[in-house]
Amino acid sequence: MTVRLSLFEDQVAGTTLEWKAAPRAIFVRAGQFTLQTAEGVSELSATDCALFTGAIQIDGEGEIWTFELAAEPVSAMDAASQARCVLAHELDLDPAQPMVLRADRVEFGPGMETPRHGHKAAGIRRLYQGRLVAEIGSELRRIDAGTAWFETGHDPVIGRNIAPASAFVRALVLPLELLAQPTFIAWNEVEAAKPRGTRRTEYFDAVVRLNR
């Protein structure tokens, strides 16, 4: 049994998007949007992010990044979805069970560096501003604005800001027992004593069920 976490990008200019029900975090990279569901109408602008689970209609102009959960493997994604997909990853979770979807953003000031750390859950990140150098496990990479990456949570990570300011948006998929609980794990006592080096803003932390 598999749960797929996907990150989609949509450039919107004078068209209406209509999507079927699914748990999704919609982040506005640029522009202004009106989002209509059976529950009502929401307005989102740049760096806003919100959770939607039902069928949705989106109007506006700009760029939207969507983190979406599905009860199917990566191989089941259709061609139209593949064309929009920036990154998708399978998670070892039971799609029949409720789970927690959490979205937040993490901001780095000049010269900031995180302690070496892991997380209690996996997730996808995408940098929307600046530039980072990241150590992820045994890998070193430069992350530019627009780059997305997946973290298992089990690999040690260090993020270093090499721009005046950098920030990424993140979606984590958690077991129910981690609802409202922190996921950050310092790698050892030395790292735990270091300052976190970032500012985190939570968009939402909610229990969701997959549409099967």
**Exposure of 129 in the CB half-sphere (CA atoms within 13 A):** 16
pTM: 0.96
Per-residue pLDDT of the chain (212 residues; tens, 9 = 90+): 689 999 999 999 989 999 999 999 999 999 999 999 999 999 999 999 999 999 999 999 999 999 999 999 999 999 999 999 999 999 999 999 999 999 999 999 999 999 999 999 999 999 999 999 999 999 999 999 999 999 999 999 999 999 999 999 999 999 999 999 999 999 999 999 999 989 999 999 999 999 76
Domain range enclosing 69 = 3-91
144 & 203 share domain: yes
Domain-terminating residue out of 91, 121, 153 = 91
Q: What is the DSSP letter of 187?
A: S
**Exposure of 62 in the CB half-sphere (CA atoms within 13 A):** 19
Greatest alpha-carbon span in the chain: 53
Domain-terminating residue out of 40, 64, 91 = 91
Q: What is the DSSP letter of 84?
A: H
Please state, in angstroms and rounded to a whole number, the distance separating the CA atoms of residues 23 and 66: 10
Domain-terminating residue out of 91, 107, 134 = 91
148 & 86 share domain: no
68 & 22 share domain: yes
107 & 131 share domain: yes
